[in-house]
């Protein structure tokens, strides 16, 4: 079926750059775009009106973590100093052997909420970074149900974090578990890659540079080549990891990956903030940026979650000037990639100490073309003939926009996820005027998710190294009034 979208400002692609087309038209046949430009009179089976709207490529969220994420609701504004700003060890590093079981129903509710939040904000391609196997299986179902595009796989590693009776963090190594996790990931990819008309794709996710042995990294590199899939690994995400690999191997996280043969054009480095030369690392030696650039590896930049921890990339424009491809991700809450563009710009300008850095052009490219390049996809992140018909229609006729001279700068400076009205994936309308077919009641979903979060918080004493309650370990911004 041929569909014609007309009447709005189209962010087209001329083969080298995004371009703005006033009163533009996008025409697609089935799942592929056939024409982008001014109206040339072509007829279609279906015509959509986008008058006074901005038509953008579907956004690519290159790095996010699913689940109810009750643990992340605890750690904002808090942090044990021994973690050097890292957030997740504050809840993940408990007594050795402590764990919290997530039910199949919780995984289903979480996956549904996650996909709906991402889709409703204009994200058409989703890269969930190595969730637990049960959750990832539920995520496949919701991705197929709502028609989005996703790169998925369960995470694995050689070590987990725990704390000893004195509260000091330690690494608990289990290489056999890491190898079993890699084989489970291989099996997942073999069973799921290509499902949903090719919208579900596999990816390998060794979880962190400091929790994977060189042998597991080498095995991952071999498996990625055999399976013909990309890899994403948290690399340089915090100072704890950076100095751990230096102490253990005498190598930075980036050097560790390079030595293992894992640093290459199909590898995405999650965060990649703490590298040699970063002011907070106090490690002026080394050439991590050059290693990444020469290897043609990619960076998944998630400014919001790391800014919460007092850290930042140093800096976006510097990476781009070195020839490093950078995509954009939300990491944890909220899954608002439009806001993430704005914060990438703000953090990038502050880090560079320049108003000319981290421009709207750079961050919009990261959310579209950068993510596509990281995935090796020349048919995503752009609106041009031959590309997939993945797009979003944005309403900028709102008070928070005011007057508009440059719609992309206005989107980056003023936009939010809820400005997205309609989303198309593979030529199919998956959200129209904020309505998503088959989406369950939001109030019901949120009620169920809240219940699962409350259960996690109630169980927190068994997960804390000293038996503290969630309220004792992580105080609220303001106390609840006693009435």
Whole-model pTM: value is: 0.97
Q: What is the CATH number of the domain that holds 133?
A: 3.20.20.140
pLDDT at 472: 94
pLDDT at 81 over 80: no
pLDDT at 275: 98
Mean pLDDT of 425-446: 98
In-domain check, residue 180:
yes
Question: What's the number of CA atoms in the CB half-sphere (13 Å) around residue 374?
Answer: 34
Cα 421 to Cα 432: distance, rounded to the nearest angstrom: 6
In-domain check, residue 99:
yes
pLDDT at 43 over 90: yes
In-domain check, residue 147:
yes
> Position of tokens 């919001």?
304
In-domain check, residue 235:
yes
Q: Indicate the pLDDT class of residue 72, thresholds 50, 70 and 90.
A: confident
Pairing of strands 159-163, 298-301: unpaired
Q: Which of 248, 244, 322 is nearest to 287 (CA)?
A: 322
120 is written with which tokens? 């409703």
Domain that holds residue 193: 59-382
pLDDT at 281: 93
Average pLDDT of the chain is 96
3-state helix/strand/coil string of the chain: CEEEEEEEEEEEECCCCEEEEEEEEEEEECCEEEEEEECCCCCCCEEEECCCEEEEECEEEEEECCCCCCCHHHHCCCCCHHHCCCCCHHHHCEECCCCCCCCHHHHHHHHHHHHHHHHHCCEEEEEECCCCHHHHHHHHHHHHHHCCEEEECCEECCEEEEECCCCCEEEEECHHHHHHHHHHHHHHHHHHCCCCCCCEEECEEECECCCCCHHHHHHHHHHHHHHCCCEEEEECCCHHHHHHHHHHHCCCHHHHHHHCCCCCCCEEEEECCCCCCCCCCCCCCCCHHHHHHHHCCEEEECHHHHHCCCCCCCCHHHHHHCCCEEEECCECCCCCHHHHHHHHHHHHHHHHCCCCCCCHHHHHHHHHHHHHHHCCCCCCCCCCCCCECCEEEEECCCCCCCCCCCHHHHHHHHCCHHHEEEEEECCEEEEECCECCCCCCHHHHHHHHHHHHHHHHHCHHHCCCCCCCHHHHCCCCCCCCCC
Cα 372 to Cα 205: distance, rounded to the nearest angstrom: 18
In-domain check, residue 387:
no
In-domain check, residue 190:
yes
In-domain check, residue 172:
yes
pLDDT tens for each residue of 272-319: 999 999 999 999 988 999 999 999 999 999 999 999 999 999 999 999
Q: Count of CB atoms within 10 A of residue 23's CB?
A: 13
pLDDT at 209 over 90: yes
In-domain check, residue 45:
no
pLDDT at 401: 98
pLDDT at 30: 97
Q: Indicate the pLDDT class of residue 461, thresholds 50, 70 and 90.
A: very high
pLDDT at 126: 99
pLDDT at 414 over 90: yes
Total domains, the chain: 1
């Amino acid at each position: 079926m041929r569909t014609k979208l007309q009447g709005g400002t189209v962010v087209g692609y001329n083969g080298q750059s995004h371009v703005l087309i006033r009163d533009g038209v996008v025409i697609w046949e089935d799942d592929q775009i056939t024409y982008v430009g001014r109206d040339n009179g072509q007829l279609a089976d279906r015509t959509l009106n986008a008058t006074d709207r901005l038509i953008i490529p579907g956004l690519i969220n290159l790095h996010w973590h699913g689940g109810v994420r009750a643990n992340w609701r605890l750690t904002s504004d808090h942090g044990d100093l021994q973690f050097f700003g890292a957030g997740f060890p504050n809840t993940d590093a408990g007594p050795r052997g402590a764990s919290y079981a997530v039910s199949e129903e919780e995984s289903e509710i979480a996956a549904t909420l996650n996909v709906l939040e991402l889709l409703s904000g204009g994200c058409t391609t989703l890269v969930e970074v190595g969730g637990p196997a049960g959750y990832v299986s539920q995520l496949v179902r919701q991705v197929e149900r709502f028609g989005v595009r996703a790169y998925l796989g369960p995470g694995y590693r050689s070590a987990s974090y725990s704390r000893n009776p004195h509260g000091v963090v330690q690494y608990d190594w289990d290489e056999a578990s890491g190898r079993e996790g890699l084989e489970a990931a291989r099996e997942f990819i073999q069973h799921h890659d290509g499902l949903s008309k090719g919208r579900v794709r596999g990816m390998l996710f060794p979880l962190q540079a400091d929790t994977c042995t060189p042998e597991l990294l080498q095995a991952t590199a071999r498996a990625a080549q055999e399976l013909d899939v990309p890899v994403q690994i948290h690399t340089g995400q915090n100072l704890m990891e950076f100095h751990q690999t230096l102490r253990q191997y005498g190598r930075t996280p980036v050097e560790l990956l390079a030595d293992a043969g894992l640093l290459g054009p199909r590898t995405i480095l999650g965060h990649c903030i703490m590298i040699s030369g970063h002011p907070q690392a106090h490690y002026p030696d080394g050439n991590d940026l050059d290693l990444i650039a020469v290897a043609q590896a990619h960076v998944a930049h998630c400014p919001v979650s790391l800014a919460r921890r007092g850290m930042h990339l140093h800096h976006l424009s510097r990476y781009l000037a070195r020839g490093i491809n950078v995509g954009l991700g939300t990491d944890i809450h909220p899954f608002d990639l439009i806001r993430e563009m704005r914060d990438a710009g703000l953090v990038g300008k502050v880090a560079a100490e320049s108003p000319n850095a981290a421009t709207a052009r750079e961050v919009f490219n990261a959310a579209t073309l950068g993510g596509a390049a990281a995935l090796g996809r020349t048919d995503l992140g752009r609106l041009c003939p031959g590309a997939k018909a993945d797009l979003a229609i944005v309403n900028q006729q709102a008070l928070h926009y005011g007057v508009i001279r440059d719609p992309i700068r206005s989107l980056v400076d003023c936009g939010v996820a809820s400005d997205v009205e309609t989303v198309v994936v593979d030529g199919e309308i998956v959200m129209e005027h904020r309505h998503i077919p088959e989406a369950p009641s939001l109030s019901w979903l949120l009620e169920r998710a809240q219940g699962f979060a409350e259960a996690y918080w109630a169980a927190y004493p068994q997960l804390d190294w000293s038996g503290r309650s969630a309220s004792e370990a992580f105080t609220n911004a303001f106390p609840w009034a006693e009435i």
